Structures are given as structure tokens and as C-alpha cells.
Amino acid sequence: MAVGLGCAAALLLAGCAGPGSPPTGGVSSPGSTPTATSTPTSPATLSSTPAPADSASAGTCGPNQLSLSLQSRPQDSGMGNFYWDLRLTNIGSAACTVEGYPVTTLVGTAPNVPVGSVSDTEPGRWYPVAVLALAPGTSAYSLLHLGQAGAYDCPLVPVGALDVTLPGWDTASRVATPNPIEGCDDDSTVLVRTGPLAPAPVSF
């Protein structure tokens, strides 16, 4: 009987330990809830792959930022018509954008001045008009559709270059033709039609 009373007294002094009570030595206040230990999360790892040039942050490409060249497409030419690819390459150190249709004028070889009508546009059957962001070293293309001047009743002049103006430009950039051609020395005959600037050459 004495042993039982001693045990009861010890339990009263230590407090009744029931299910859910904190381990011996823990401190618990009435109504408190044990706090779960959280594991810190590491920040998301950034991809090391370079992102494409952002058209929202890039300015319009100026004449001094682009290198222009013309390539003939003999496989697509014939029946009084022929095609050239106009290529514009970003030679600057920052991304820039191009959009829309280039305006071109044929340049005579003697004298070395623009002749004939400015180009018309040929709606893109392959690529729509879109803003193209050019990172340094990348290019945009316009398909030029030209007519043989000899098929028209117009004064013929030898042509060795093309003046190219993009939307927003105040001055033109001159580029040599892939081969000598003839132009019309009048303002009523349109010999060149330009396609919208695209990220790759057109494939027929």
C-alpha cells in the first residue's frame, strides 16, 4: 500500500504523461501546437542556354548595323522573271530589329545614280510580316522578284547596284548586284517587287 501511494505521489509531482504529451524535458504551454521544422528551399536554377534576342528590348537596326548582300537564284528564274535573295546581317555588338518590306531602287553604272521606279511589294506567300530580332551575326532575308527590262517598252540602262531602304530609315544602303542587269530609265515601269523580311530564305 505504501509503495502504491509513493508511486501516485510521484506521478502527481511529474504530471500525468498521456498520448500526445511532449517528450521528457520539452516545454509546452497550454493550447500550443508543436511547430514543424521546414527545410529551406534553394532558388530556382537559371538556365545557362542563351535566350533568343528579345524584340521588346532591342531597337530598330540602322544602316550602320547591317551588312547587305544579294544572291541570285538561277534555279527559280525564267520566262522574263528572275529572283534574288536580299540578305541583311547584323554586324553590330547588340541585338536590333527589322520589319516589313525593303524599298529598293536600281542604280545605273554610268552615271552611278538611281534610275527608274522604286520597288513595289509582293505580299508574303511564305512568310507573314513580323518583327524580327537579329542577334549579332544573324540575318534576315527578303525575296526580290525582278522583271527583265528588255520585255518592256522602255529606255534601257545598265545596272550594277541596288539602293535599299528599310522602314524607319532616312538614308539608303547600296549593295552590288550579283551580275550586271538592265533597268528601265523611266518612273512608270516597276521592275522589282520585294517580299517581307523573313528569318530564312524562301524555298519554292
| 3-class SS string, 73-136 | CHHHCECCEEEEEEEEEECCCCCEEECCCCEEEEEECCCCCEECCCCEECCCCCCCCCCEEECC
- Dist. CA 83–CA 149, nearest whole Å: 14
Residues paired with 67 in a beta bridge: 89
Which band of pLDDT confidence, cut at 50, 70 and 90, is reported for residue 55? low
Whether 4 has a pLDDT exceeding 50, the answer reads: no
Query: Is 27 strand, coil or helix?
Result: coil
Mean residue pLDDT of the chain comes to 81
Question: pLDDT at position 28, please?
Answer: 41
- Dist. CA 132–CA 167, nearest whole Å: 13
**Can you give 130-168 as a three-state secondary structure string?**
CCEEECCCCEEEEEEEEECHHHCCCCEEEEEEEEEECCC
Whether 8 has a pLDDT exceeding 60, the answer reads: no
Which band of pLDDT confidence, cut at 50, 70 and 90, is reported for residue 104? very high
Q: Which residue has the higher pLDDT, 56 or 87?
A: 87
Range with lowest mean pLDDT among 52-66, 67-81, 84-98: 52-66
Question: pLDDT at position 60, please?
Answer: 96
